[in-house]
Amino acid sequence: MKLSIFLPAVAVTLFSSLTVANNLPELAAPVEIEASESVVVNGQTFNKVVEPSATADFADTVKLFAGDLVTKGSFNLTSKATGLVFVTLVEGQDAKAVATDLDLKLVFANGNSAVYKAAENVDLLNLNDELFNDSRIKAVKIELANNKYNPE
C-alpha cells in the first residue's frame, strides 16, 4: 500500500522561472495523487487512486471495478478501468457460451477474439482470474482506457 506518490525516485529540476520563450502549448501541471494503493493489472503494477477519505478502508485484497482509476509512472499518467475484458478463445470455442456461463455481456466477437463487459459490481481482478482459469480461454486482458490518442 502506498499513501502518497509524487515524482518518486526521479532526479528532476524545476525551472519555475522559465518564461514563455517558446511556442509550446501550456498543459496542466502534474497532479499530486494524495492516496493510492498498489494493484497489479495485466501483469503490470499500477497505483489505484482512492478517495483520501477512504484510506482507512484499504482492504487486504485490492479490487478493481469499472470506473476505477489507476496511475503509472512518475508523472502519474491515469487510466480508467472500463469494465471491458478482451479474451482470446481456444480455437473452436463459443464466445456466447462463455458469456452466458460467466454472466457477462458479449460486446463483440471476431474470429477467436471476444470482448466482454462485466457488470459494475464485478471485481475485474477476480473476473480476470476466473477467465484465465477457464479451459476455453487462452488469454485475458482487462481494458484500461486513457484517451491516449490525440489529433495530429
Partner 1 sequence: MNLKYSKLALAMVGIGLTSASYASDPLYSEQWHLNNTGQNAFSQSSGTAGNDLNTQLTQAFGIAGVGIKVAVIDTGVQIDHPDLAANVVPGSQNFISDSAFPVDYPEDPNGHGTAVAGLIGAVGHNGEGVRGVASNTSLLGFNWLSEQTFEGWLISHGKGAATQDVRVFNQSYGFSPIDPIKADFDDPQFNFEIGVMSDVSDNAAWGRGALFVKSAGNGYRYFRSGGFFVLPGDFFAGGNNLGLPMHNSNQSYDNANYYNLVTSAITADGTRTSYSSVGANVWVAAPAGEYGTNSPAMVTTDLMGCDAGMNTSAGLGSNGLHGGTELDPDCNYTSTMNGTSSAAPNTSGAIAAIMSTNHALTARDVRALLAETASKTDAQNPGVSLDFVNNKGELVSYQAVAPWTTNAAGVDFHSFYGFGAVDLDKAMSRARMTNSVLPPQVITPWASSDLAVEVPDASLAGGESSIVFSDDVTVESVQVQLTLDHARLPDLAIELISPAGTRSVLQTPRNGLVGQSLDASITGFDQQLLLSNQFYGEKAKGEWTLRAIDTNGEEQFTFIAYFNSSNVFFVPLNNNKEPGVIKNWSLRVIGH
Provide the 3-class DSSP secondary structure of residue 124: helix
- Closer residue to partner 1 (CB): 10 or 59: 10
Containing H/E element for 98? Answer: helix 95-102
Cβ 70 to partner 1 shortest distance, Å: 14
Closest distance to partner 1 from the beta carbon of 60 (Å): 25
Cell of 105: 455481456
* Site residues (vs partner 1, CB under 8 A): 7, 9-16, 18-22, 24, 26-30, 72-75, 77, 82, 84, 86-88, 107-108, 110-111, 113, 115, 138-141, 143, 145-152
CB of 53 vs partner 1, minimal distance in Å = 25
Q: For partner 1, which is the closer residue by CB, 55 or 74?
A: 74
CA distances from 58 to 37, 53, 66, 88, 99 (A): 8, 11, 18, 33, 31
Determine contact, residues 41/144, Cβ cutoff 8 Å: yes
